[in-house]
Amino acid sequence: MKSKKAFISTTKTASISLLGNPETARYFWLVLHGYGQLAENFQKHFSDWNLNEHYIILPNALNYFYLKSGKGDVGASWMTKYEREKDISDNNHYLNQVYEQLILPHKKQQSFFVIGFSQGAATLIRWLAMENLLPDKIILWGAVFPPDIEQEKYLEKLKQIEWWYFIGTEDEFISNDEKEKQKHFFQSHQFNIHWIEYEGKHAFNEKTLYNTLKL
């Protein structure tokens, strides 16, 4: 007899790192880390910011794993190719909950910025494309626009956002050909995008971000 597959929605407790004071902040940030990282480690990039002016929310991806040999350091992943549509749906629901519970109750006139590093950028783009939410700025870092979102119904919405794309000159995961492909995509679809190439590898650099956006 051929086996069948069933799916059950279940509750999972997510871990989220918070920096700053939402009652005094002028800027709200939602930051998604990359593959194999954790929010509590990624938050170090923002620890020197003025946390009276910046309220920073860093959710952990929902899928944890040991980085080496089944022991030691732990990282997280937003999704894999296995049951990818379920992961995308779960991520969108998760980020909606983060926004509704940790941002929306405090948000008045503050600017709302979102950052996606590497794998976190694709998750961020899918969420914004599929849900009824537009931030003031979206910052992609060392990232590739997800091909499944290259549909007119999504692009028309996303083009309403101000985009910033940061890429290192020596990014070891994104080739020069892929960089040019990404640049052509944004330009050909007439995105409002600032393209920033800096000297460096596939790593987030908070000083480059802070100085470029003149925060």
Q: Provide the pLDDT for residue 41.
A: 95
Q: Is residue 7 part of a domain?
A: no
For the stretch 143-192, pLDDT in tens is: 999 999 999 999 999 999 999 999 999 999 999 999 999 999 999 999 99
Domain span at residue 118 reads 16-213
Is residue 179, in this structure, part of any structural domain at all?
Answer: yes
Cβ contacts of 127 within 8 Å, gap of 6 or more: 91, 92, 95, 96, 133
Kindly report whether the global pTM for this prediction surpasses the value 0.85. yes
C-alpha 70/C-alpha 133 separation (Å) is 38
Phi, psi of 157 (to 5 degrees): -70, -45
Residue 143 is assigned to a structural domain of this protein = yes
Residue 96 within any structural domain of the chain: yes
Amino acid (1-letter code) at residue 173: F
Give the angle subtended at the CA of 45 by the CAs of 44 and 46, to the nearest 5°: 90
CATH number at residue 177: 3.40.50.1820
Collapsing DSSP to helix, strand or coil, 186 comes out as helix
Show pLDDT as tens, one digit a residue, over the chain (215 residues).
788 889 998 888 999 999 999 999 999 999 999 999 999 999 999 999 999 999 999 999 999 999 987 788 999 999 999 999 999 999 999 999 999 999 999 999 899 999 999 999 999 999 999 998 899 999 999 999 999 999 999 999 999 999 999 999 999 999 999 999 999 999 999 999 999 999 999 999 999 999 898 88
42-81: b (≥16 Cβ within 10 Å) or e: bbebbeebeeeebbbbbbbbbeeeeeeeeeeeebbbbbee
Q: Is residue 156 in a domain? A: yes
Question: Is 106 a domain residue?
Answer: yes
> Reduced to 3 states, what is the DSSP secondary structure of residue 27?
strand
User: Does 119 map to a domain?
Assistant: yes
Note whether residue 3 is domain-resident.
no
Q: How many structural domains compose the chain?
A: 1
